[in-house]
Amino acid sequence: MSGVQGALVHHGRSREIEGDVVALEPAMGDSTLLTVRVPSAVAAEIRPGRFFDILCRPDGSSDPLLRRPYSVFASDPARAELQFLVRPYGRGSAWLARRRRGDVLDLLGPLGNAYTLDPGARHLLMVAGGVGVAPLVLLAREAVASGRNVVFLLGAADASGLLAAGHLPSAVEYVVATDDGSKGHRGFVTDLVPDYVRWADQVFACGPEPMYRSLRNGLLPLRIGNRPRVQVSMEREMACGLGACLGCVVETKRGMRTSCVEGPVFDMDDVRW
């Protein structure tokens, strides 16, 4: 490590941090829950929806080249620990899921904006598709801690792909849907949304883009004006994570917006679908 870099870390400028892997456990089907120890100042900066761009390759290799963004699933500032829920998909996630205790990860972050809770909102509806649970679990914990009511909808292919209820605060009403009906509603998670729209003051969603489209189509006839407000986390492939490359933009009614800095959370009504 060069003195220069050390100095930067000291001045609190660099967001490149090292994280020690302290635990890995299976969670939600074939995904892995990764616990990483980071400087405690970093853990304190976490907000639901923010993410880290993680380097997913060994030292000295340049392939795969780019970092991969992962949402924070849980944050424990006291223990200076973060958790990520990693779904094995391609090269980066497979490498990450194969880490072992004691390995050191290179993380850039926290990055991006966060879901925002309206001060007056009491009833919160959260809609998650698959690994999209990650930021919403953190949000649900915060919301319950501040005395709000949370309904948490999760969709997965089958029962094995669902998150164990123990990861959510017990005050949360947790309702699930599976494609094959092996647990909960048989069908899409968005099918469940209409039941809660009138109840909800705010809606928060995280999942693949087709889920947002059906969420939006289902909501259109039920919403009154633009109420309840809906926030979605837009997944984009990212290069820099810092708003510099313009590779991750989302087309909004206000023009092109970077999803790494001005997102990943957008107001559903602001996005051009």
Ligand X SMILES: Cc1cc2nc3c(=O)[nH]c(=O)nc-3n(C[C@H](O)[C@H](O)[C@H](O)COP(=O)(O)OP(=O)(O)OC[C@H]3O[C@@H](n4cnc5c(N)ncnc54)[C@H](O)[C@@H]3O)c2cc1C
Ligand Y SMILES: Cc1cc2nc3c(=O)[nH]c(=O)nc-3n(C[C@H](O)[C@H](O)[C@H](O)COP(=O)(O)O)c2cc1C
Q: Residues within the annotated binding site?
A: 68-71, 85-87, 240, 245, 248, 260
Contact between 148 and 123 under an 8 Å Cβ cutoff? The reply is yes
**The pairing of beta strand 104-111 with beta strand 51-54:** antiparallel
Residue with token string 């899921």: 97
Residues 6+ apart with CB under 8 A from 37: 19, 20, 22, 79, 80, 81
Strands of the sheet with 149-156, listed across from one edge: 185-186, 173-178, 149-156, 123-129, 202-206, 229-233, 265-267
* Number of chain positions touching ligand X (CB under 6 A): 25
What does the alpha-carbon distance between residue 273 and residue 83 come to, in Å, rounded to a whole number?
32
Which residues in the 220-239 window bind other proteins by CB under 8 A?
236-239
Binding-site residues from annotation for [2Fe-2S] cluster: 240, 245, 248, 260
Is residue 222 within the footprint of ligand FES (CB under 6 A)?
no
Helix ranges (DSSP H) in 11-119: 40-44, 91-97
* CB closer to a second copy out of 91 and 272: 91
Which residues in the 52-111 window bind a second copy by CB under 8 A?
57-64, 90-91, 94-95, 98, 100
Is residue 240 within the footprint of ligand FES (CB under 6 A)?
yes
Which residues in the 217-256 window bind ligand Y by CB under 6 A?
245, 247
Is residue 236 within the footprint of ligand X (CB under 6 A)?
yes
Q: Which residues contact a second copy (rule: CB under 8 A)?
A: 57-64, 90-91, 94-95, 98, 100
- Provide the binding-site residues for ligand X, judged by CB under 6 A: 51, 64, 66, 68-71, 84-87, 89-94, 131, 134, 235-239, 264
